[in-house]
Structure 1
Amino acid sequence: MSDTADSNGSWAEIFTPRYATVTLILCLGVALFAFNAFLASTALPTAVQHLGGLELIAWALTLYLVLAIMGGAGAALLKQRLGARTALLVAGAVFLFGTLIAANAGTMTEVLIGRSFQGLGEGVVAAICFALIPELFPARLVPKVFGMQAVVWAVAAFGGPVLAGLLTELVSWRAAFLVNVPLVLIFAAMVAVVVPGKADTTNESPGFPGIRLLTIGSGIMLVALASIAPPLQAAALLVGAAILLVGSVWLDRRSRVRLMPTGAFWPNSVIGSGLLVVLFMPVAGATSAVYLVLLTQQLWGYGPTLAGAIGAVMAVAWSLSAITVANIRQRETRKLLIRTGPALIALGLIGILIGLLTGQLIIVLLSQIAIGSGFGISNGYLNLTLMEAASDAERDRTSALLPTTQSAGNAIGAALAGVAANTAGFATAITVEQIHLAIIPVFVVGATMAGFAFLAALRMTRLMNAHATQSSFAAAQ
């Protein structure tokens, strides 16, 4: 594809009758994940007060995340065997089932069961929605689709906690969960009408990849446990998680029917190095996501609303920057954006640390803008590049793996930040000076992960240039 091959793409086109319904379906799929995350986190503390089981509240997120990653890992295979329409409808039903269990729970154990079903269903929905993007949209419109998804996340970041808070206070914490019900029903109705339903029947049934999914799930579970374990135990859990996750990739490479594309997470290909960027960026970003709101309250005495608004600046910057760069046509400029994104995240994390240590709010806000912009300018073109680099036979696996990898990165990043904070004594820090000393390694670890993402992005774009040179040479011959 030439540099100007997608020059006819416009924002208006994704809202024309041809694409508007599909755009809405994909945005609803993202909204299920985005709003559910904020609704649940806001309503669960009240649910615990009513049901008891405070010691289980962390598992409401942990089990959701583990099952979402497992569901996302198997989504491409599910789409292949059932077809996109049936797979989405089944996953939506699983999510709805989990929502109803959680909303009507009489104990925290029932809430955990419901959250597990929610995670499994949403993991499949998110992954298949990603896989449908290159299938239902031309390449010129893909950056606009990712820009719209960024807008949905920004709306959820602001509206989700407010909506959940109002429902919890004025009605019930159960109502905050039940908000998902009409969203799922609308999503399912539109999927049934619009999404293609043909399954791939050209290959023999591959069977159920239970060992690989169990290995992935166990690895993420160890990551989640590391975030709440003492430092030495956390380090051991992270090592165990790394072994399991690397082992799952190794097993997949040797399987007859794979869950992942060829070369996944191996830096010797565009797809392999690109997936490393997709993994390391949220690992880095989790540092700010986990600790910034808490730190502004501890260090500066801000209330939850003001602290939350500072945290949401990143989401707004992400959305605005994604929209701003969505019309970029030149390939070299897109490569530059992919490389610049991780660099901005690294600078932003160091900037937040400096702002917190010096008490300068303006530095924190500018750094939040830098982090959000880093994600916004690079995420869409990174995803598009990976989709285009995949062969037709592997495009579903590549596309479906993107949200799964991002979720895994968020989980790993939260765990690493927790280990760094606990090792530095953050949990027992009382004075401002003690808190300052404890957060330095947290943000240094985050910036280091962003540095790894930058190196992987350099590797990816160099491989792209090498492939382009080889293609030009072959064409000249």
Structure 2
Amino acid sequence: MEKRNAGAATPPAITGRWAELLAPRYLATTTMLCVGVALYAFNGFLVSTVLPTAVREIGGAALLPWSLTLYLVASIVAGASAALLKQRYGARKVLFAAALVFLAGTLAAALSSNMETVLVGRVFQGIGEGIIAAICYALIPEMFPPALVPKVFGAEATVWAVAAFGGPVLAGSLTESFSWRVAFLVNAPIIGLFLLLAAVMVPGGRGAAGATSRGFPIRRLALLSAGLLVMLIAGLAPSALATTAAVAASFLLILAAVRFDRRADHSILPKGAFSLRSTLGLGLWVVLLMPLSQATSGVYLVYCLQYLFGYGPTHAGALGALMAISWSLTAIGIANLRHEGARRATIWLGPLLLVCGFAALATAIAAGSTGLLAAAQITIGAAFGLSWGYLSQMLMETTPERERDKTSALLPTLQSAGYALGAAMAGLWANGAGLASAETPEAMRMILTLTFALALIWAVPALLAARRAVRLAGPASPAS
């Protein structure tokens, strides 16, 4: 195990105020982690904005969906292996390598002359971003005292909110004023800043003793990759029977990867992951299920606003961004909670708000109410802002010290997996219900209403798992 940073132990003077997060002792570390998040957040909005323009120049429109599919698979699989890489080579070396891989993918995509090269670049971007996000999460409990951890999550939520508004605007402006290639290259200076901060702030040294002798989990990662890939392309199957078979095969492959991992001497997942009898296992289910539910909005909300409510891209995008803004403001607002009982309560109140938000969102679409839709988006964002930071902190703290890297690194990976699987499941339902061939607004409204209502299938068990996880965690301890 790497030697901890001096900020890992809670000094008596640390009280958890925002000013302490921005003090010289932690400012550079906070900036580094936020830049790592910015690399992930801004790139997603940049790519989704510029690729439609890119295919008009270089062709390959039929391959456009693969730019997201391959990126997601690469990101999730790379994130799953991040903890083992950190233990073997040390955080600094792995972050440097991941940032350079991401840079290589960015340059490949920006300088490409065909869509196939863009896809190669997206795979490299996914590998780099998956590892960076996972290790940045793993560094939070190492480099900050517990009292400041909620503030770190609040700061990262702010970065996401800025990216939600600023990313599409920046990418669109650069594409229109210069070229889509210039928009891709915006990532380059962000990578440079991240490398500089990582060189100064991330602990060096070698990985954990004995880690270099561990075999790399190629079979488990291959099964996970295959399962995710089959799930994400199931919607392209030519018939409902083939789609059903693909979904079943996907779940079997992912389940096989998890089962093999549980039997391995050196696992990817922490012990007890996804168990229904432990705080850690139940909490990880919440981390997976909440994004799985929210992915429905990510896929169909802007589409719904344009085709059912008649908004243009700008206004639809602004309404869609309400969720990210609400997430950020809520995370900042509750980061000062002192009482441990109140912190524990936010962990299950968040999923409760998620249930209420999606019920309201489905109702708003059925009724054609913009006001209710905006309120639902704010509620869904508040659900994540309320629970995400304290849930993540609880999972890190309930994990044994020797396994903490695995849990911390798994959180963003699991979040990405939830979004990916949720988007695939929402697409399967909507396409199977005939959304693409709906001939009237009424038919389209009915299909989209049911699509958003089905998000409750994932939100309700997230609530139940969160309640049980908090109960199993035991009585609240005194405030930090």
Amino acid at match of 1:158: F
Amino acid at match of 1:169: E
Partner residue of 2:305 out of 288, 291, 296: 296
Secondary structure of the corresponding residue to residue 18 of structure 1:
helix
Secondary structure of the corresponding residue to residue 150 of structure 1:
helix
Partner residue of 2:95 out of 84, 88, 111: 88
Aligned to 2:21: 14
Aligned to 2:57: 50
Amino acid at match of 2:429: A
Aligned to 2:3: none
Partner residue of 1:460 out of 469, 474, 477: 469
Equivalent residue runs for 1:217-228 within 5 Å = 217-228=225-236
Secondary structure of the corresponding residue to residue 216 of structure 2:
coil
- 1:111 paired with 2:118, answer yes
Amino acid at match of 1:21: A
Partner residue of 1:216 out of 221, 224, 232: 224
Deviation, structure 1 residue 340: 1.0
Aligned to 2:9: none
- 1:330 paired with 2:330, answer no
Equivalent residue runs for 1:34-183 within 5 Å = 34-183=41-190
Distance 2:231 2:332 in 1: 33
Deviation, structure 1 residue 217: 1.0
Distance 1:409 1:6 in 2: 38
Aligned to 2:360: 351
Aligned to 2:205: 198
Distance 1:287 1:248 in 2: 26
Distance 2:229 2:378 in 1: 32
Secondary structure of the corresponding residue to residue 308 of structure 2:
helix
CA displacement 1:55-89 (0-9 Å, x = unmatched): 10011111111000011000000001110100100
Contact 1:347–1:447 (CA under 8 A) maintained in structure 2:
no
Write out the 4+ residue segments of structure 1 that deviate beyond 3 Å after TM superposition.
227-232
Amino acid at match of 1:244: L
Deviation, structure 1 residue 293: 0.7
CA displacement 1:197-224 (0-9 Å, x = unmatched): 1223422511111011111111111121
Q: How many residues align?
A: 465
Contact 2:134–2:412 (CA under 8 A) maintained in structure 1:
yes
Amino acid at match of 1:153: W
Deviation, structure 1 residue 330: 1.6
Deviation, structure 1 residue 44: 0.3
Query: Where does the alignment leave 5 or more consecutive residues of structure 2 unmatched?
Result: 1-11
Aligned to 2:5: none
With normalisation by structure 1, the TM-score equals 0.95
Amino acid at match of 2:87: Q
Aligned to 2:37: 30
Contact 1:14–1:20 (CA under 8 A) maintained in structure 2:
yes
With normalisation by structure 2, the TM-score equals 0.95
- 1:421 paired with 2:395, answer no
Deviation, structure 1 residue 349: 1.1
Secondary structure of the corresponding residue to residue 74 of structure 1:
helix
Deviation, structure 1 residue 380: 0.2
CA displacement 1:414-434 (0-9 Å, x = unmatched): 011111111221111121210
Distance 2:441 2:123 in 1: 39
Amino acid at match of 1:352: L
Aligned to 1:442: 451
Distance 1:340 1:235 in 2: 34
Identity %: 51
Partner residue of 2:278 out of 254, 269, 273: 269
Contact 2:14–2:20 (CA under 8 A) maintained in structure 1:
no
Aligned to 2:391: 382
Distance 2:454 2:116 in 1: 35
CA RMSD of aligned residues (A): 1.5
Aligned to 1:475: none
Deviation, structure 1 residue 7: 7.8
Contact 1:30–1:149 (CA under 8 A) maintained in structure 2:
yes
CA displacement 1:11-50 (0-9 Å, x = unmatched): 1111111100000010011001100000000010011111
Q: Is the deviation greater in 18-27 or in 442-451?
A: 442-451
Deviation, structure 1 residue 242: 1.2
Aligned to 2:7: none
Deviation, structure 1 residue 137: 0.3
Amino acid at match of 1:182: P
Distance 1:306 1:329 in 2: 38
Distance 2:385 2:88 in 1: 34
Contact 1:346–1:448 (CA under 8 A) maintained in structure 2:
no
Contact 1:6–1:329 (CA under 8 A) maintained in structure 2:
no
Q: Is the deviation greater in 24-33 or in 325-334?
A: 325-334
Query: Where does the alignment leave 5 or more consecutive residues of structure 1 unmatched?
Result: 473-477
CA displacement 1:159-195 (0-9 Å, x = unmatched): 0000000111110000111000000011001111111
CA displacement 1:211-259 (0-9 Å, x = unmatched): 1111111111112102444543332222111111121111111101111
